């Protein structure tokens, strides 16, 4: 999945439409988590520093094609302005005379942010006329919004079909890291899959079982697997209509000699609310009127033992009811353990909102190999499905050995010329080219 990137085109003086994923949480008109904004900074900085005229476009929330003041992008523009150290104007609408004029006034190395694309119902419908109006703003298209790449919307697919389309640096890294997981992982390869439902991750489990050596199951979905093993789960969240599928997955794992870990002890609560009574008990003894809300210490010990020699780990989904602090211990504990594994050289890739939240809340993000910005997109990619917003980007041409050699010579010559112009040694230039 080798796509052309912004490095492969001369952007100087060009108007560049950049689809970013600034769908960030807001509270009292302020951005509470700017990680998605920061993830797009390398691409934005590269374009600005190379003289592009940058038109940023994003959605925020689910306004269903109607203007909602609480979902305007001004707070996002303010946070982006703080990060970049320069003013980022935001238009009053994604379309209209005012936006057209603002785009026309852009000079080299300047940027603006279009208002929430989803204020127009045509965005999610991939309406051709809407896509054409957006495409008319620019000469080049860049997609750096991996989190929306599984959606065939006007700004992710429609515009990309009308302009030369390239991947941004975040998109490039997401594709490289997730493709490596499924194509060439260092072994042993372990996956931790949590979250609420088996049904939403069944295809991912099937694909992972073709690749992994260890599969750890947690969260609400583990309850369905406990049922498949003949255990009772009280009033816990479970998908009774998926029990046969869970049995099939367990049988497939046994056939492929994949070690599967399910909870051996769990935290149960009288109610799934703050302040309720809770306790830790063996997984075989769930009271009929209680709810499983987290994994216990014995389960965490087993997980850590199973992951101790893993050279590659993929984690998606919490191990308990993470949004309630009393039931977030398992998720937060495995986040700390995986950070330690990454510190020792293991490749640890994380995707999924609550998994990422557990990492960020504890200040662990910098220690992980890669934190994916796309929950649904990353799962669909791991399922082996094509992502519309990726497919539409230009493929990198497959070069013959002779063409590769010629390209390397050109790169070395260019680096040498640049080094000489800057007063550096040719040897240093050669290293830079490589």
356 and 284 in one domain?
yes
Predicted local distance difference test score (pLDDT) of residue 433: 47
Residue 379: inside a domain, yes or no? no
Q: pTM value?
A: 0.85
Beta partners for residue 18, in sequence order: 56, 142
- Catalytic annotation, pick one of 15, 36, 151, 332: 36
Same domain, 132 and 160: yes
158 & 75 share domain: yes
Does some domain include residue 347?
yes
Same-domain check for residues 163 and 215:
no
pLDDT at 11 (0 to 100): 98
Structure confidence at residue 369 (pLDDT): 95
Residues of the chain with confidence (pLDDT) below 50: 428-434
Please state at what angle helix 169-183 crosses helix 41-49, rounded to 10 degrees: 130
236 near 287, Cβ under 8 Å?
A: no
**Distances, alpha carbon 236 to alpha carbons 154, 220, 239, 386, in Å:** 41, 8, 10, 35
Q: For residue 197, indicate whether it is catalytic.
A: yes
Which one from 38, 180, 197, 424 is the annotated catalytic residue? 197
Of the residues 174, 208, 238, the one at which a domain ends: 174
Domain presence at residue 421: no
Question: Are 193 and 170 contained in the same domain?
Answer: no
> Are both 52 and 200 inside the same structural domain?
no
Domain co-membership, 193 together with 268: yes
36 catalytic per annotation: yes
How many domains does the chain fold into?
2
Same domain, 198 and 165: no
Identified catalytic residue from 38, 376, 424, 430: 376
Domain boundary among 309, 329, 363: 363
Q: Which of 69, 76, 114 is nearest to 92 (CA)?
A: 114
pLDDT per residue as tens digits for the range 35-91? 899 999 999 999 999 999 999 999 999 999 999 999 999 999 999 999 999 999 999
- My answer on whether 155 and 233 are in the same domain is no
Domain containing residue 93: CATH number:
3.40.50.1260
351 is catalytic: no
- Do 191 and 166 belong together in one domain? no
* Domain enclosing residue 44, as ranges: 6-174
pLDDT at 417: 66
432 falls within a domain: no
Q: Look at residue 432 in the predicted model and tell me its pLDDT.
A: 45
Same domain for 226 and 114, yes or no, is: no
Catalytic pick among 353, 367, 424, 430: 353
User: Do residue 203 and residue 146 come from a single domain?
Assistant: no
């Amino acid at each position: 999945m080798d796509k052309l990137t912004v490095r492969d085109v001369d952007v100087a003086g060009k108007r560049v439409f950049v689809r970013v994923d600034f769908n960030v949480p807001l509270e009292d008109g302020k951005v509470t988590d700017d990680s998605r904004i920061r993830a797009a900074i390398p691409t934005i900085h590269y374009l600005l520093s190379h003289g592009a005229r940058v038109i940023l476009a994003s959605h925020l929330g689910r306004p269903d094609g109607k203007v909602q003041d609480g979902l305007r992008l001004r707070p996002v523009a303010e946070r982006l302005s703080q990060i970049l150290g320069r003013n980022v104007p935001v238009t009053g609408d994604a379309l209209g005379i005012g936006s057209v004029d603002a785009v026309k006034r852009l000079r080299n190395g300047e940027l603006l942010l279009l208002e929430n694309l989803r204020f127009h119902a045509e965005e999610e419908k991939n309406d051709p006329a809407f896509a054409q109006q957006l495409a008319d703003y620019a000469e080049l298209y860049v997609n750096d919004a991996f989190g929306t790449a599984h959606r065939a919307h006007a700004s992710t697919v429609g515009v990309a079909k009308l302009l030369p389309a390239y991947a941004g640096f975040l998109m490039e890294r997401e594709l490289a890291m997730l493709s490596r997981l499924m194509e060439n992982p260092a072994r042993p390869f372990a996956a931790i899959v949590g979250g609420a439902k088996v049904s939403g991750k069944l295809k991912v489990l099937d694909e992972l079982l073709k690749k992994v050596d260890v599969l750890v199951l947690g969260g609400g979905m583990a309850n369905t697997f406990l049922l498949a093993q003949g255990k009772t789960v009280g009033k816990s969240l479970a998908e009774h209509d998926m029990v046969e599928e869970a049995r099939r997955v367990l049988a497939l794992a046994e056939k492929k000699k994949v070690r599967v870990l399910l909870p051996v002890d769990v935290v149960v609560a009288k109610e799934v609310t703050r302040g309720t009574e809770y306790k830790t008990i063996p997984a075989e003894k769930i009271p009929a009127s209680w709810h499983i809300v987290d994994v216990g210490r014995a389960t965490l010990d087993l997980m850590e033992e199973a992951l101790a020699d893993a050279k590659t780990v993929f984690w998606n989904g919490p191990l308990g009811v993470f949004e309630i602090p009393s039931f977030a211990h398992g998720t937060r504990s495995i986040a700390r353990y995986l950070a330690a594994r990454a510190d020792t050289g293991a490749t640890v890739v994380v995707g999924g909102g609550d998994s990422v939240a557990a990492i960020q809340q504890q200040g662990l993000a910098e220690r992980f190999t890669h934190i994916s910005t796309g929950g649904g997109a990353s799962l669909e990619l791991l399922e082996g499905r094509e992502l519309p917003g990726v497919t539409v980007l230009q493929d990198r041409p497959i070069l013959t050995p002779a063409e590769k050699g010629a390209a390397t010579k050109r790169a070395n010559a260019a680096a040498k010329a640049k080094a000489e112009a800057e007063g550096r040694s040719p040897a240093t230039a050669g290293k830079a080219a490589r």
